[in-house]
A and B are shown apart, each in its own frame.
Chain A
Amino acid sequence: MTKHLLSLLALVAWLGGCAAQGALKPSSADEAGLPLPFRQVLPNGMRLIIQDHRAADVVAVYLFVGVGGRDEGPNELGFSHFQEHMLFKGTDTQGPGFVDREVEGVGGRSNANTSLDYTFYYLVVPTQEMPNAIRILADMAFRSKFDPAELSREGDVILEEGRIEIDNPRTALVRGLYGLVFRDHPYGRPILGTRETLKAATRENVLAYYKRHYVPENVTLVVVGPVAPGSVNAAVRETFGRSPATGHRRAPVPGARPLSGGIRREVERPEQQAYLALGWLAPRADDSDGFAVDMLASILGGTESSRLARKLRDQDRLVSSITMSYAALVGGGIVSVRAELEAGDLDKVERLILEEIARVQESGVTEEERQIAVTHFEAEHAFDTETAEGLAYAYGIAETTWSLEEELRYVERIRQVTREQIRDVARRYLSRTDYARLAFVPRSKERR
């Protein structure tokens, strides 16, 4: 610990003028035998996180941008995701496909994803390619070209992506549930946009959106691998560091409207398999209740031996799969239960899920269940440390949606959650009336 602290201080001095964010505390990563990560804020406001990780001769470089579905105006639906695609389509000096060519040409891989609170891009490359990977991401972030012909072609590709989503019931179910739980809220909008907004996208308005959000203060770069912080820092200063601060401040996200009285929807689909999703509003990412909600979701439906799996899958055999999960977003969280079942059992399964929730609300959970849940999260973190990208992804999300320091202390905080706290959050958040219910059922004529 002392050694890492010293090197952190040395780095801060060497950087001169950088506002480092203090020493990071012991962590789950530390227990895995890893040194602590460095976190720095560059003079232009960009954040940089570096983790020494010597499992393989591979470095993961993740760029997280504070832009996602929640930042889009009504005429900009799908723009965050559109940008994500366009950033692979060339810069002022490079043509389309340059990222794939450069990265795959050295045996690396690249990809990107858009969510509600963030967009991220990653390159995983052999260690010696680290400076190149940083340059490529900086070019994508600040020098993308948005060629009009490419823009039009990529719009078609995204419409195809939408088709895949529609075809996949599991994806469609999650999207649909968010739409219900976060109705009239940015989190309830379609990340892919609509046919209308995509067709109406012009180079001017897409470019304006890009210029507004892709600025140093809104990005975090995470570099994980067998790397020296000094060399990473040099590569970052040569590239990202050259872009000036803009004074950008991201607009806060509004709170979600309560689900008073509940909301129910049934959708007919071609599959004979039925799908059920229930959703509740839950604590936002920075709410300390979140640790207890994580534990609650794990005990009820986060593991193979969870209460819902045992009762509904193993004992009553009403579902072929059932899971409960908690996603903590910046502006509000969501607890969801998803099950695959036969259409005739929908109501019964819903009732039994509510009964299991009531049982936790009334009698709480056992000490053994609490301990299994702690082990579950401890293991999740331990498995994250196997690869550079597992850690880079975890750090990037934490930095963008809550706090890296909290992420590093996560397992410690989870261990402190009491059985009473788990029961209390079950009472506070899992209303038996105010929740959203979405069911996919076979088309009437296809029902057996």
Chain B
Amino acid sequence: MRRLPVALLSGVALLGALATPATALEAGVVSRARFPNGLTLLVRENPTAPVVAVSLAVRMGTRWETRETAGISNFLQLMVVRGTTSRSGTQIVEDADRLGGKIDAIGDQDWSQIEATALSRHRVALLELVADVALRPSIPDGLVEPIKQFLLRQIRNRAEQPYPVAFDTLMHSLFGLHPYAWHPLGSRESVERIDRPALLAHYRRHYVPSGMVLAVSGRVRAPAVIAEVERLFGAMPAGQSPPASKVSPPAAAVSREVREVPGAQAQILIGALAPPLTHPDYPAVKVLSTVLGGGMAGRFFTELRDKQALAYSTGALYPSLAGTGYVVTQLGTAPENLRRAEPSLKKELDRIREEPPSAEELRVAKAYLLGHFAMDRRTNARQAWYLATFELAGVGHEFLDRYVAAVRDVTPADVQRVARTYLGTVRESVARPPAR
């Protein structure tokens, strides 16, 4: 099958990154094992396709960073897949290619992961590869500088695009000194300072079995996977995972920042702090963000794009975070529309605080949220990711079942209440092309 590059297709898609991240559980038995050294293993047997996916989540990410070390978790993840004591970086990607899969690693806010896939007939070799990368990374000296340069270019590129600039600006004003203020890439200043000893120390501090969850999903048998993981990870010494940052975000306040970024579109982002995923309001805020910016039936899409033609991309984002999180609403528009678009977006935020959604709006939003969530969990890679991430967050993958039930119970009054609670004081960030 030879496909056109995605770039050559033109669709009516929403800005992908803004689709409300989904979450719920489909049928399928999950086996759980906890080894004496503290490592947790989750296995979902899914015979659908002859493939297997692995996620190894580590309690490491921006939440454990400071402004000085910002970006070190992601930097380390890029290094662990670039060499072990017995494999070069090239051998790692070659081995993954031989298995019919991929291996990659990233650092995020609440977690860092090594993610890998393969044809299921290579499941043992895949687990061996993941174990090698996780347990015996060499952090090759000669690669620290090139990877640093690569990261610095990514940071530079991010500062040249309207949406990332507007987003990063908003995060800084919402979170202040709290680690969610910075992107997992970190800053130019912090990344420039990071060296091999710092990476090794970060690795030793965070890669401890009690702070790690391994999830496997695919055409596998749980008992065989458990035995294999015990063989590969069982000898890892126990240790204590370090605590996350205790810094709090600043109190809510009104602010508006404008950045000039060359480009054809202007981006308007309005956001506020929002509850963590463990908070009782979490399901209602999920529904709220969906009523506003979930899909093409959401208020933003119908009002701002369909009726007023003020936007091509618009949406709302409420990621599931372990700490105090955020709701961000977004609208991308032509610079000449800014003056009309900004009040229109704000008007929608006022409206949801003043009048609750109709029963039909709520029904559609819930269906969208839960449907999207169920669909997102069909590939083995996503299954493994969900299992590992929610287990690592301390709520267990069973949380997802409870979440689905809680979303079903959300009422129109709940949505209005959380809108009033969290969207009363908002911060704004605009990125627009320089005036010509």
Contacts and interface: CB of A to CB of B under 8 A. Distances in A.
Contacts of B301: 100
Interface of A: 31-33, 54-56, 58, 81, 84-85, 88, 96-97, 100-101, 104-116, 124, 126, 153-154, 156-157, 159-168, 170-171, 173-175, 178, 191-192, 270-273, 285, 290, 294, 303-305, 309-310, 314, 317, 320, 325-329, 333, 336, 372, 375-376, 378-387, 394, 397-398, 407, 410
A382 B364 contact: no
B297 A114 contact: no
Interface stretch (B166-174, B188-196, B262-270, B413-421): B262-270
B274 interface: no
Given A115-B8, A327-B3, A372-B94, 20 more contacts: A56-B374, A58-B374, A100-B301, A101-B364, A104-B295, A104-B367, A106-B367, A107-B374, A109-B295, A116-B8, A157-B312, A160-B265, A167-B263, A175-B8, A303-B97, A379-B51, A379-B118, A379-B119, A383-B51, A383-B117
30 contacts: A33-B50, A54-B48, A58-B378, A97-B306, A101-B364, A104-B368, A105-B364, A106-B371, A107-B370, A107-B372, A107-B374, A114-B9, A116-B8, A154-B309, A161-B312, A163-B264, A163-B265, A270-B160, A272-B160, A294-B2, A304-B93, A304-B102, A314-B90, A320-B153, A327-B8, A329-B4, A378-B100, A385-B50, A386-B49, A386-B380
A197 B313 CA distance: 23
Contacts of A160: 265, 309, 311-312, 332-334
B94 A305 contact: yes
A304 B96 contact: yes
Contact of A375 (B48, B98, B150, B312): B98
Interface string B291-330: 0001111000110011101011100000000000000000
Nearest to B118: A379
Main secondary structure of the interface of B (DSSP, over half): mixed
Contacts of A329: 4
A166 B264 contact: yes
B281 to A, nearest CB: 23
Contact of B2 (A54, A88, A111, A327): A327
Interface in B1-44: 1-5, 7-13, 26
B255 interface: no
B356 interface: no
B200 interface: no
Nearest to A293: B2
Q: Which of A54, A107, A156, A333 has the largest count of B CB atoms less than 10 A from its CB?
A: A107
A129 to B, nearest CB: 10
Interface in B359-405: 363-364, 367-368, 370-372, 374-375, 378-380
Given A105-B363, A115-B4, A375-B98, A270 B12 contact: no
B119 A305 contact: no
Contacts of A170: 7
Contact of B49 (A55, A81, A101, A126): A55
Contacts, number: 220
B371 A108 contact: yes
Given A115-B4, A157-B312, A167-B265, A273 B157 contact: yes
Given A100-B296, A160-B333, A376-B97, A167 B8 contact: no
Nearest to B81: A304
A372 B118 CA distance: 13
B156 interface: yes
A283 to B, nearest CB: 10
Interface string B105-133: 00000000000011100000000000000
A320 B150 contact: yes
B101 interface: yes
A325 B2 CA distance: 9
B5 A310 contact: no
Interface string B328-367: 0000111000000000000000000000000000011001
Nearest to B145: A317
Contacts of B94: 305, 372
B89 interface: yes
B2 A81 contact: no
A446 to B, nearest CB: 9
B363 to A, nearest CB: 7
The 6 residue pairs across chains A and B that have the minimum distance between CB atoms: A107-B371, A379-B100, A160-B312, A270-B262, A100-B296, A304-B93
B161 interface: yes
A115 B146 CA distance: 38
Contacts of A159: 334
A58 B375 contact: yes
A175 B49 contact: no
A191 B8 contact: yes
Contact of A304 (B8, B49, B97, B160): B97
A76 B307 CA distance: 25
Contacts of A114: 9-11
A107 B368 contact: yes
Contacts of A161: 10, 312
B71 interface: no
Contact of B263 (A154, A174, A270, A397): A270
Interface string B146-165: 10001001001100111000
Nearest to A170: B7
Given A304-B93, A310-B90, A375-B97, A325 B5 contact: yes
A303 B99 CA distance: 12
A32 to B, nearest CB: 5
Contacts of B264: 162-164, 166-167
A390 B173 CA distance: 41
